[in-house]
């Protein structure tokens, strides 16, 4: 069985990606990040998602991005805005270089594991407008990763899979539902409380709620 490293955030998208990688026959190694995010409910959700999927191993890597700040998700002094209230192209919930940092740590682990496949749940349709969720970023990252590592010298091919990138949130929910993902374990909210209950008003809650509604699937989210 081929090994793959899966970025698992505790949210809806990455839980779906994990199910997709398992259905494709990969032995899955899940990695999550304790990065100074606002709430720990996200990491607890990641633990539950990884455990339910019976992954080969689940690592939680500590990397404090709050030391750089610059985002409502890592700086307590910046409020998380309600959905669709920002005029800016890039909202204040964007965490600078977050996906680049996360993919790079996943890359380090994959190289040691001898895994040639990394799965990430980025999405460029129903998303918050972050630059590091676009298809051109993923392609450029994969190209760089193949030059950065042993793969570039030993003529292996490292692939960064982003199976959700062109899907709507409704399509993601439908696909996960067919694969048996238990979305009640997942937390998408940018400011969930300690129990994982969602605010219902942030951009991420808005997209998630719309996704279930458009998919015609009951929304298992617990709201505050």
Binding site for a copy of itself (CB under 8 A): 59, 61-65, 67-70, 89-90, 94, 96-101, 103-105, 107-109, 111-112, 131-132, 134, 136-137, 140-141, 143-145, 147-150, 152-154
Nearer residue to a copy of itself within complex by CB, 101 or 189: 101
Residues 6+ apart with CB under 8 A from 142: 158, 159, 160
Burial of 49 (0-12, 13-18, 19+ CB in 10 A): buried
Nearer residue to a copy of itself within complex by CB, 4 or 198: 4
Nearer residue to a copy of itself within complex by CB, 42 or 132: 132
- 88-to-47, 73, 85, 130, 201 alpha-carbon distances in Å: 34, 16, 9, 11, 18
- Nearest distance in Å: CB 115, a copy of itself: 11
Nearer residue to a copy of itself within complex by CB, 87 or 154: 154
Does residue 98 contact residue 35 with C-beta atoms inside 8 Å? yes
Nearer residue to a copy of itself within complex by CB, 54 or 88: 88
* Strand 27-34 versus strand 117-119 pairing type: unpaired
- Nearest distance in Å: CB 13, a copy of itself: 18
- Nearest distance in Å: CB 157, a copy of itself: 14
- Nearest distance in Å: CB 103, a copy of itself: 8
- Nearest distance in Å: CB 3, a copy of itself: 14
């Amino acid at each position: 069985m081929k090994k793959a490293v899966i970025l698992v955030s505790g949210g809806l998208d990455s839980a779906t990606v994990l199910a997709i990688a398992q259905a494709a026959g990969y032995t899955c190694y899940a990695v999550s990040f304790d990065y100074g995010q606002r709430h720990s409910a996200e990491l607890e959700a990641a633990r539950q998602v990884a455990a339910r999927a019976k992954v080969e191993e689940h690592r939680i890597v500590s990397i404090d991005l709050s030391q750089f700040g610059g985002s409502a998700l890592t700086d307590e002094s910046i409020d998380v805005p309600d959905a669709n209230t920002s005029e800016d192209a890039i909202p204040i919930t964007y965490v600078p270089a977050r996906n680049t940092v996360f993919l790079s740590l996943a890359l380090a682990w994959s190289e040691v594991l001898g895994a040639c496949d990394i799965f990430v749940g980025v999405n460029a349709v129903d998303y918050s407008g972050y630059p590091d969720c676009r298809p051109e970023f993923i392609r450029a990252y994969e190209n760089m990763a193949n030059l950065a590592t042993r793969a570039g010298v030993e003529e292996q091919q490292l692939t960064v899979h982003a199976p959700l990138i062109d899907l709507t949130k409704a399509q993601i929910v439908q696909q996960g539902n067919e694969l048996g993902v238990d979305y009640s374990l997942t937390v998408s909210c940018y400011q969930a409380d300690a129990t994982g209950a969602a605010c219902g008003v942030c951009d991420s809650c808005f997209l998630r709620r719309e996704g279930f509604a458009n998919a015609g699937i009951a929304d298992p989210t617990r709201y505050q």
